[in-house]
Amino acid sequence: MALKTGQQYEESLRKLNLKVYLQGELVKNPVDHPIIRPSMNSVKMTYELAQDPQYAELMTATSHLTGKKVNRFCHLHQSADDLVKKVKMQRLLGQKTAACFQRCVGMDAINAVDSTTFEMDQKLGTKYHERFNKFLLKMQEEDWTVDGAMTDPKGDRSLSPSKQVDPDLFVHVVEKREDGIVVSGAKAHQTGAINSHWILVMPTISMTKDDADYAVSFCAPADAEGVFYIYGRQSCDTRKLEGGSIDVGNKQFGGHEALMVFDNVFIPWENVFMCGEYEFSGMLVERFAGYHRQSYGGCKVGVGDVLIGAAAVAAEFNGAAKASHVKDKLIEMMHLNETLYACGIACSAEGHKTASGNYIIDLLLANVCKQNVTRFPYEIARLAEDIAGGLMVTMPSEKDLRHPEIGKVVEKYFRGVASVSTENRMRILRLIENITLGTAAVGYRTESMHGAGSPQAQRIMISRQGNLDQKKELAKAIAGVK
């Protein structure tokens, strides 16, 4: 089975024995839980579009291991064209879901682990790359959703992992055995964790010799013994428990994050890809971060397309579409959105081959892409809120609209242009609210700031890779400075 259908994916999740806590309760059936279900639908879309012939070029690729067609989310990039198609695929999925579709982090993780383990083996004589290829082959054959896990809770940021009061604030090896290792700790902000088949863990920062026990990378089943999840709270999330289809804004799709806890979890050696090789931890972090910063030039742009469209519709429903300032704001939103896309495409087109054979983006341009993502979606959201008007956050509920007595009052006083029903006006405003302030805001607004590293992390990389000395020499040569 190289390509799962959406329904096969859903059924595969039902077979997992995940231990998930949500609002203080153990969830018996994560797949059908009304708060979790929309996020599962978003991942399901990555499977459904891969089955659609019109999207096959973007959604699928040819495996370099088997020569078979695989989902692009399970693929190692074999060319700059693959990198470009990745960004185009992410924009497409953002347009189809207006939410986070969650598989990007696993795709970026496998590409980073591939080249890092290859170079690690070349220098140290280890056998990690061979192990990783066996996992990747199975991932492609089973079309797994893999949750890349990098961010640790970190505790006191002024202290290194080994100096923390509580050693579990970073995932670390607590025991090495003949048959494998035992790990303890947690990964935070885990996008799509509950909708994944496997976990691919990586270190979160560049480690020193003192932190060797924290320089660990491995894979584990999402329902492995000792692994459990605490589901992250989102704005307006309990609206999904109310029924109805207006107030949630985006009833069908969504995203999620969770705290992923490893309570003395055993990992067989065959699933270990780094164990103490601290000198390669920085390489793995840098490469994963670069791939993931590229990703934001696709997924956030796709969601931005929906938000811009919603703002334009809201302007029409409000009777303000012909106002010059509204037209100018929509132009500005499109300009910002396409600039993000241009950066995602540019860092992809400038990609190059690594020693293992897979392709990596231009890291400088990927960091420029993500630095823009920390700013532009906020301005796009601000302009959308401006165009939408205050009713977006003051209108009554769907239950009021449906009420046998006051419903007529709501219908009368919250209508915009006469040709558009109050219900449709409320629907488009709730969608804007969802993307800018509600549950989707996690995957669009806040994640634009903190996902794939904080703004300062990108600025550090831009400083390292911007080659300022070369620019100084160019200026001296033109100016005739000896």
Q: Annotated catalytic sites, by residue?
A: 100, 104, 191, 257, 292, 296, 299, 447
**Spatial CB neighbours of 479, under 8 Å, sequence gap ≥ 6:** none
Distance CA 405, CA 392 (A): 23
Q: What is the rounded distance in angstroms from the CA atom of residue 467 to the CA atom of residue 130? A: 35
CA distance 51 to 56: 7
> Alpha-carbon distance 365 to 346, whole Å?
7
Contact by Cβ (8 Å): 469, 405: no
Neighbouring-strand partners of residue 173 = 183
- For 259, the enclosing helix (H) or strand (E) is strand 258-268
Give the contacts of 394 (CB within 8 A, at least 6 positions apart): none
- The DSSP line for 356-393 is TS-EE--HHHHHHHHHHHTTHHHHHHHHHHHHH-THHH
- Between the alpha carbon of residue 276 and those of residues 202, 224, 446, 479, the distances in Å are 12, 22, 33, 50
Q: Is 232 helix (H, G, I), strand (E, B) or coil?
A: coil
C-beta separation of 401 from 407 below 8 A: yes
